[in-house]
Structure formats: structure tokens, C-alpha cells
Amino acid sequence: MQKKSREEIKLMKMAGNVVALVHQEMKRVIEPGITTLELDNIAHDIIKKNKATPTFLGYCGFPNSICTSINDEVVHGIPSKDRVLKEGDVVSIDVGATFHGLVGDGAWTYPVGKISPEVQNLLDNTQKALFKGIEQMYSNNMLENVSAAIEDVANAAHLGIVRQYGGHGVGRNMHEEPFLFNYRTKSNIVIKQNCAIAIEPMFNLGCDDVHTLADGWGVVTDDAKPSAHFEHTVIATDDGPLITTVLL
């Protein structure tokens, strides 16, 4: 778990601001009829306009600047001109921006038009779990308490928890140690002062189980039921959790 310097924290806040700017625009433009490639182009332009680099573009060969995951797709959906959002869909937008070598990483699941109460409940509880996890992100607390807070929300709402994926350290690299599970694992890792972690609960309306599509990227639920994904980059400071992926 790598402690971040004052300058690194400053740059991570700048990177996070770019991520937040993208999400601000995503919320405005997502509607029935827009393609996920259009969303990707919008996000790419915002990132570049703000003198940052799309962290995902080219990462392990990923072909786009953001991930766009629709309905039962949990994470890593590839934007395409052929994927058109429809009324009642939900779409998870995962954004990474690198500013002067430091990374901001944040995701949000958006309704497309009017969605069912059942799916809205999924979104509400996944978002709730994110902030319950963030509350536990302070120096000398156990990382397990972040996981437990997330798991407790899922269990209370009777939602599936994606177990193969989770949060992670972040900073000069998009993925750093430690890995953060979204459920209890009896981990003994202590959160260090000024460490940064991307906290990202992923809940399903049905079962826990997921699998990867033939494209090698998109991950979908085994039962084809909707999934939700919410993520912030958070630093454990002397003053408590600092969310970097918000507007400055």
C-alpha cells in the first residue's frame, strides 16, 4: 500500500476532476438513441481538452477511452457504433484519466430514460454501498471494514455480489496493491495514511456469478440479469476519506 506525497495527492485530485467532468457530461447526454461509441468520443474529447490522457486507451490492448457496460454487462464493455441505448436500459460508464502521471478512476451506472423500480433499487443500493465503504476509508482502519460495509448493504437488499472483481490501489498505476474485495475475506491489511484506493462495489439483481464474453473484455452476469457498478478513487487522509473523483 503506497503512501502518496502531498504533490501526488494534488495531481490525483486534478486527475479525478477530469473523471468527474466526464461523468457530469455523461449524465447530461445519456438518453435513448445515443450509441456507446458516441459516449466514448465525448469522454475522450473532455479528457484531452483538460490536458489529461485516457488511462484505459491501450491498457492491455483495450481499444477505447471508457468502458460502457449495458444491463447484464458488469464491467469492461467496449464502446461501439452498433450499441444503441434504449429506454429502460442501464449503462455503467467507467472512466480513467491520467494527469501528469497520476490516475483518477471512477464509475457510475446511469438509467436510460425510465427504468423499473426493481432496477432502480439495484442502482440505489450499489451507490449506497460505495459511500458506506468510503466511510471506512481512514488511516489505521482495517481494509476488511471497507469490504464488510459493502457486503452488508448487498445482503440487506438481497443483491448478488460480483466476487471475481473489486477495488484496488491506484496512483501512478491504474491497478496497484492492495486488491479490495466487496465482501469479507478475513484480511488483516491496515489502511495506511495517504494511501489511495478505488472503491467499486458491483452488485447484481440476480446471482453472484459472471463470465467473460468472447471479445475477451466484457463481463456479464451468468443469469443475464442487470448489474450496477459505482466507483470513486479515495485517499485516507488525516482528515478522513478524501474523494478525488469529484469536481474541484
Render each residue's pLDDT in the chain as its tens digit; 248 residues: 899 999 999 999 999 999 999 999 999 999 999 999 999 999 999 999 999 999 999 999 999 999 999 999 999 999 999 999 999 999 999 999 999 999 999 999 999 999 999 999 999 999 999 999 999 999 999 999 999 999 999 999 999 999 999 999 999 999 999 999 999 999 999 999 999 999 999 999 999 999 999 999 999 999 999 999 999 999 999 899 999 999 99
Q: β-pairing, 90-99 with 53-54?
A: antiparallel
H or E segment to which residue 11 belongs: helix 6-29
Question: What are the cell numbers at 237?
Answer: 487522509
Q: What pLDDT score does 242 carry?
A: 98
Note if the pTM is more than 0.85: yes
Q: What pLDDT score does 84 carry?
A: 98
Q: What pLDDT score does 227 carry?
A: 98
Q: What pLDDT score does 209 carry?
A: 98
Q: What pLDDT score does 238 carry?
A: 85
Spell out the domains of the chain, with CATH numbers in brackets: 6-243 (3.90.230.10)
Question: What are the cell numbers at 118?
Answer: 426493481
Q: β-pairing, 167-169 with 196-199?
A: antiparallel
